[in-house]
A and B are shown apart, each in its own frame.
Chain A
C-alpha cells in the first residue's frame, strides 16, 4: 500500500537513523515506514486501544497514553524529532504540548487541518454553518477537534512562543500539493505541515 503523501513529506524532513517520538501514532504506519526506509528508531504514543493493538502487531514501540497528560515521562532533548500528525487540534492544551514537543525533541513536526481554507470560510461566512469538509468530516456536536486553528493562527502562536518555522508545506485532503497552496497557504491549503524548532531565548543584556 502506498504511503499517505503527507507522511511521505514528513519522511523527507527526517534524517535517516534519527530518533523519533510520534504523538498520536495511530496504527504506527509512519514509524514503521521511517524505520524500514530510513532506519529511524523511537516510540509512538497512542490512546486508542485498537490502534495500540495494531501498532504492537506491526512491531513498532507504542506506548498507550493520553497526550493531555503531557510528556513528563520524556527527558529533555531525548529525541531528534517529535512528530504530531493531525492531533494538535484534539488535545486540551495545544500550546503547552507544542512547548513540550520542542523541549523533548530538537525539532518538532506538526500537521493539522487548516480552518482558514476557503471552503471553511465560505461555509461559515456565507452559509453561516460550521464547516464540514473531507479534511474536517465531523459535525460540530461530535467532533474530536476542540482546538481548530488556521495557518495564520498557528504561525502567530509560533511567533509568541519564539518557535522558528523551518519548513511549511500545504496539501489538499488527498494530501497532494500545488502551487496555489504554497502561494496563498491560509486560503488554499487544506492541511498544513510544519517543521519547527525552539529558538534559544535571547541573551539578557
Chain B
C-alpha cells in the first residue's frame, strides 16, 4: 500500500459526472434522450482554453487514465506511463480530459445503468454505439468544459480510431490527432476474433439474453473466455514464449484438463479478474464498435478523401510486435494522410510485448510522444 504517491503521478484524482439533456442521435437510428458522461481531468485549463488534450480510451479502458483514487490504490490509471507531471502528456502544461464512453460499464450511461424510461437496467436494450457516436458525445463534453479546440486528441487501439473519427467529423476542433496502435478499419481476422468473443458471451447460459442483472447472475464463463481470447491477441508470440514457454505449474504432466501450463494459468487469471470489473453487455457493444469502424466507407472507401477537410496535424505510432493492429495497418493510415497532403509524422516503435505495448514505457515511444507533445505545448503556449 502506497502511503505517498510517486512525484511524477497526477496524484489523487476523482471522477466527475456530467448530465446531458440534449438528445443524442445515434448512427443506428435510435436516440438517447439524455445521458451521463463520467470523466477525469488532470492539470489546469489555461486562460485561453488552448491547452486541453482529450484522451480516448480503448475497449476495456475507462476514464481513469492517470493518478490514484486513494492512497490505498494498488494500481494507478491505465495510462500512468504517459500522463503525469514530466511525462509525455505533461499535466503541468496540459489540461487532460479522459471521458468514459457511452455503452461502457464504468459510470457513463450504458447497459448496466438504469434506463429512465423503463426504470430497469438498459441491458440488451442499450443501442449499439459507434466511434462516431462517441465522438459526438465527446464533442458535447468539450463544449460543456469550454473547450472549443483541443490541442490534441489522443488514443491507442480503439481510442486511436476515435481520434481518426474526431479528425474526420470535427476537423476544425482539434489541432493535433495522435493515433496509436490503430487501424483504418478491422480486417476479417479482427472481426472473426471479436465474433468468437461475442459467441462465448451469448452462449453462456447465464447470459439470459442480456438480462442477467434481473437474474442476479453474470455470464462469467462467457466473459472470461472472451477476455482470454482477446488477451492472446494483445500479446506477441515471442513475448508469450519468453514469459511462459512450455513451463508447467506442477513441474510434470498430469494427463488431465485442469491448468497445467503456466500460460493457461495466466490466461485464466486474466479472464477471472476481468469478470470482476467488466460487464458482458459492454463487451458486446465495444467489439461491435470496433467491427463497425470504417470512416472511409462514407467517402467511397477512400480514406484520403475522408481526411481531406481536416485541419488536424497527425502523429501515427505503431509497434513492431503488434499483430492485432500491425504496423502495416498504421502505414495505411499514413498513406491516406500523405495522399490527402496532411502534416503527418509516423514512428514504428521496436517492441516486444505486442498490441499492449501502447501502454508500456518504451523509451523510443516515450521520446517520440514526448517530442511531439512538447511541440504542441510550445504552439499552444
Name A residues whose Cβ lies closer than 8 Å to a Cβ of B: 43, 49-50, 52-57, 59-65, 73-75
A55 to B343, CA, bound (A): 13
Contact B347 A73 (CB under 8 A): no
Known A-B contacts A49-B350, A53-B368, A56-B315; A74 and B338 likewise in contact (beta carbons under 8 Å): yes
Contact A56 B368 (CB under 8 A): yes
> A63 contacts which of B334, B349, B368, B371 (Cβ < 8 Å)?
B334
Contact B371 A73 (CB under 8 A): no
A55 to B347, CA, bound (A): 11
B: contact size bracket? 20 to 34
> B339 contacts which of A52, A63, A64, A75 (Cβ < 8 Å)?
A75
A52 to B339, CA, bound (A): 21
Contact A63 B344 (CB under 8 A): yes
Min CB–CB distance A65 → chain B (angstroms) = 8
- Known: A61-B345, A62-B345; 5 extra A-B contacts, CB below 8 A, are A53-B368, A57-B372, A63-B338, A64-B347, A65-B331
Report how many A-B pairs have Cβ atoms within 8 Å: 51
Mostly, the B contact residues are helix
Min CB–CB distance A55 → chain B (angstroms) = 8
| Residues of B contacting A55 in the complex (Cβ-Cβ under 8 angstroms) | 345
Residue with the greatest number of chain B CB neighbours at <10 A, chosen from A52, A62, A64: A64
Contact A73 B364 (CB under 8 A): no
A158 to B173, CA, bound (A): 49
Known A-B contacts A57-B371, A57-B375, A74-B338; A52 and B347 likewise in contact (beta carbons under 8 Å): yes
A56 to B347, CA, bound (A): 9
B372 nearest CB neighbor, chain A only: A56
Min CB–CB distance A32 → chain B (angstroms) = 12
Min CB–CB distance A46 → chain B (angstroms) = 10
What are 6 A-B contacts with C-beta separation under 8 Å? A49-B364, A53-B347, A53-B364, A57-B372, A73-B334, A74-B338
Mostly, the A contact residues are mixed
Contact A43 B338 (CB under 8 A): yes
Contact A64 B374 (CB under 8 A): no
| Residues of B contacting A50 in the complex (Cβ-Cβ under 8 angstroms) | 364
A55 to B364, CA, bound (A): 13
Interface residues of B in 324-342 (CB under 8 A from A): 331, 334-335, 338-339
Instruction: Judge if B348 is at the interface, Cβ distance under 8 Å.
Output: yes
B378 nearest CB neighbor, chain A only: A59
B334 nearest CB neighbor, chain A only: A63
Instruction: Judge if B121 is at the interface, Cβ distance under 8 Å.
Output: no
Min CB–CB distance A45 → chain B (angstroms) = 10
A191 to B281, CA, bound (A): 66
> B335 contacts which of A52, A53, A60, A73 (Cβ < 8 Å)?
A73
A61 to B348, CA, bound (A): 14
Known A-B contacts A43-B338, A57-B375; A64 and B343 likewise in contact (beta carbons under 8 Å): no
Interface residues of B in 312-331 (CB under 8 A from A): 315, 331
Contact B346 A64 (CB under 8 A): yes
A11 to B371, CA, bound (A): 26
Min CB–CB distance B153 → chain A (angstroms) = 18
